[in-house]
Amino acid sequence: MKLWELLYSSFGNRCPRCHKGKVFKTDNPYDLKNFDKMNTECPCCGEVFEKETGYYYGAMYVSYAWMAGWFIVTFTINSYFIEAELLNYLIFFFVSVLILSPMTFRVSRITWLNFFVKYDPEKSKCIKPQQDLNQ
């Protein structure tokens, strides 16, 4: 797993195997009625996204890691450049975590998928026409 493959797949809502099909049905993480709706399998290569019951429990740890990274980055920027008081920074941090939570949910699940599914350029030749990729 290369870093750019992980980032492209996770932040682009793309299947980790083919990088063409979409994992989530909608690209908008702030479509709050549908942001968590996943395709059961990749519309392009047929990779199954729901491997077993409880498969995505591990994504909670990935979510924790992404948020720890967010904390480190924002805390460092605040400490060296902005120098806001600690309470103001903490308010900013928790509000930003709330605002980012739909995106974190999706990115964490796709990152978790990337741990177990390797990118295969041969699979990127879709068997279905391009317009069916949005299912």
**Candidate segments 21-29, 55-63, 79-87, 100-108, binder of Zn ion by CB under 5 A:** 21-29
Nearer to Zn ion, 100 or 126 (CB): 126
For the segment 38-77, give every residue that binds Zn ion (CB under 5 A): 42, 44-45, 47
By CB under 5 A, name the one of 9, 10, 13, 15 that touches Zn ion: 15
Minimum CB separation from Zn ion for residue 124, in Å?
8
Please choose, from the candidates 24, 52, 58, 48, the residue with its C-alpha nearest in 3D space to the C-alpha of residue 38: 24
- Show the tokens assigned to 20: 């063409």
Minimum CB separation from Zn ion for residue 127, in Å?
10
Q: Does 18 help bind Zn ion (rule: CB under 5 A)?
A: yes
- Residues ≥6 apart with Cβ < 8 Å to 70: 96, 97, 100
Nearer to Zn ion, 107 or 117 (CB): 117
Q: In degrees rounded to 5, what are phi and psi of residue 93? A: -60, -50
d(CA 39, CA 97): 26
- Residues ≥6 apart with Cβ < 8 Å to 59: 108, 109, 111, 112
Q: Does 119 help bind Zn ion (rule: CB under 5 A)?
A: no
Instruction: Give the binding site for Zn ion (CB under 5 A).
Output: 15, 17-18, 21, 42, 44-45, 47
